[in-house]
């Protein structure tokens, strides 16, 4: 199988825990709920599974500097910085603020962390992302300068997007099926940001003939149709990359209406779900991704959508660095 021959660095050496959420379920009712603790991955977030492959590719190409872009509210840039340090590479980071011109890196909650962890070159842009990092004028300018200084630049895609990055979640699907030991859940709930995590899981489970349905909870405010089209396209890119048969679009399912006012904008309902998990199980979720996904799961249960299900698994994608974003929850404290 081609998948098993694709080289990676080995950042993810051990399976992350799979645990039952008994107390949480007692509050909520519904099917058995299990959690896949990808928040306990080394470096604390789902991006490390993707970068396991992407850094291998960069190193094989002889790169000594990685250039990437992502929002300040995604664990992507922070994890890239740590991994570049580990590999002895330079990192050049573009913080995208999605139209918010008020962001200032030097007064942002993550500033000290970045300084402590290598003080990388950070550029801030409030332009909306359009097209891949490797085509951004700013990224190209940085790459050009690195080359002039004798370095070898390499672009790492935004959020680890693309088939090679998604292989990280094919691997996670393989890991899960082993952990299930034949007790196959009906549904696996994960966040849908750019969608690579969900696409990797769908393809990985289908490769093993596993009937579990992967449900992606939209965290960016995109419509169901737009998300499903994007995830289906990523599944196709991945199966093509892996030289395997394409997967029917029936396996792609995304849920809208769980993102509040949009990406990185928290709301009272999600605050309640986050609080319930923290107080019943001692597990923190982040305000941008896993908190909204958890809200999505509780909504599916409350609305009876999962009534026929016996067992569901919630993928906690981590985002430890986003716990710095807890200050954005403060306005919700009165309501919750
Ligand atoms: C990036 C990110 C996601 C979204 O993953 P996609 O593959 O882009 O859908 C989910 N959770 C966390 C913590 C993230 O940083």
Confidence of residue 331 (pLDDT cuts 50, 70, 90): confident
Give 180-217 pLDDT, tens digit per residue.
999 999 999 999 999 999 999 999 999 999 999 999 99
Task: For residue 207, report the distance from its CA to the centre of ligand 1, in Å.
Answer: 22
N-to-C CA span, the chain: 50
**Cβ < 6 Å from ligand 1: which residues?**
45-47, 74-76, 159, 191-197, 286, 289-290, 317-319
Q: How far is the CA of 260 from the centre of ligand 1 (A)?
A: 17
Q: How far does the centroid of ligand 1 lie from the alpha carbon of residue 278, in Å?
A: 20
**56-81 per-position pLDDT tens digit:** 999 999 999 999 999 988 889 999 99
Dist. CA 76–CA 64, nearest whole Å: 19
pTM higher than 0.95, yes or no? yes
Tell me which residue of 170, 211, 167, 156 sits closest to 188, measured CA to CA: 211
Q: SS3 string of 239-294?
A: HHHCCCCCCCHHHCEEECCCCCCCCCCCCHHHHHHHHHHHHHHCCCCCCCCHHHHH
Q: What is the model's pLDDT at position 168?
A: 98
Which atom of ligand 1 lies nearest, measured to the CA of 75? 15
Q: Tell me how far apart the alpha carbons of residues 77 and 223 are, in angstroms, rounded to a whole number.
A: 26
Ligand 1 centroid to Cα of residue 317, in Å, is 7
Cα of 14 to ligand 1 centre, how many Å?
20
Query: Tens digit of pLDDT for each residue in 128-162?
Result: 998 999 999 999 999 999 999 999 999 999 999 99
User: Hey, whose CA ends up nearest to atom 8 of ligand 1?
Assistant: 194
């Amino acid at each position: 199988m081609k998948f098993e021959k694709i080289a990676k660095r080995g950042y993810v050496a051990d399976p992350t825990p799979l645990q039952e959420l008994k107390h949480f379920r007692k509050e909520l009712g519904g099917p058995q709920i299990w959690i896949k603790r990808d928040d306990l991955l080394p470096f604390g977030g789902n991006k490390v599974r993707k970068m396991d492959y992407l850094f291998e590719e960069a190193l094989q190409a002889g790169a000594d500097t990685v250039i990437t872009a992502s929002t300040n509210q995604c664990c992507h840039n922070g994890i890239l910085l740590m991994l570049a340090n580990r590999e002895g590479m330079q990192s050049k980071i573009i913080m995208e603020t999605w139209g918010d011109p008020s962001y200032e890196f030097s007064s942002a909650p993550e500033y000290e962390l970045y300084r402590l962890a290598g003080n990388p070159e950070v550029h801030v842009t409030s332009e909306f992302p359009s097209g891949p990092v490797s085509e951004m004028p700013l990224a190209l300018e940085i790459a050009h300068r690195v080359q002039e200084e004798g370095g070898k630049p390499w672009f790492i895609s935004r959020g680890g997007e693309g088939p090679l990055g998604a292989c990280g979640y094919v691997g996670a699907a393989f890991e899960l099926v082993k952990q299930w030991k034949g007790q196959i859940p009906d549904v696996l709930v994960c966040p849908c940001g750019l969608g690579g995590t969900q696409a990797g899981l769908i393809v990985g489970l289908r490769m093993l003939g596993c009937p579990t349905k992967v449900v992606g909870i939209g965290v960016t405010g995109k419509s169901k149709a737009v998300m499903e089209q994007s995830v289906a396209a990523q599944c196709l890119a991945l199966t093509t990359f892996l030289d395997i048969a394409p997967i029917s679009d029936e396996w792609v399912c995304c849920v809208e209406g769980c993102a509040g006012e949009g990406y990185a904008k928290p709301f009272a309902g999600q605050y309640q779900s986050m609080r319930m998990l923290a107080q019943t199980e001692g597990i923190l979720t982040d305000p941008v991704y896993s908190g909204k996904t958890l809200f999505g799961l509780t909504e599916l249960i409350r609305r009876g959508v999962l009534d026929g299900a016996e067992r569901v698994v919630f993928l906690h994608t981590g985002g430890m660095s986003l716990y710095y974003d807890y200050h954005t929850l403060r306005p919700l404290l009165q309501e919750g």
